[in-house]
Amino acid sequence: MTEGTPVRLSGQDAGRGTFTHRHAIFHDANDGTRYSPLNTIQPDVADFAVHDSNLSEFGVLGFEYGNSITDPRALTIWKPSSATSPTAPR
């Protein structure tokens, strides 16, 4: 981001986060506005966008793949829900 690479993170509940990206987005309890601390680490930082997706994991994966090939300089990260992960306990 500091070198101009925009980052897009999506997945179920990606803004709240459950692993290393916990608290990627903060929500104001009074008015509901969203705040992303990573967008403010430097004055001219590339965009860090977090999108909470629905539960249709295959649809989201297809969309994010399409999004990733439209801008090869951007980093697109898809965080699957743990329930649909191939390594999730069954």
**In order along the chain (90 residues), what is the average pLDDT of each group of 10 residues?**
86 65 80 86 86 74 84 82 54
The confidence score (pLDDT) of residue 55 equals: 61
The confidence score (pLDDT) of residue 18 equals: 58
The confidence score (pLDDT) of residue 30 equals: 94
Judge whether 51 and 77 are in contact, CB under 8 Å: no
Which residues partner with 76 through β-bridges?
8
The pTM assigned to this predicted structure is: 0.67
* Integer angstrom CA distances of residue 12 from 5, 72, 79: 23, 24, 7
The confidence score (pLDDT) of residue 90 equals: 47
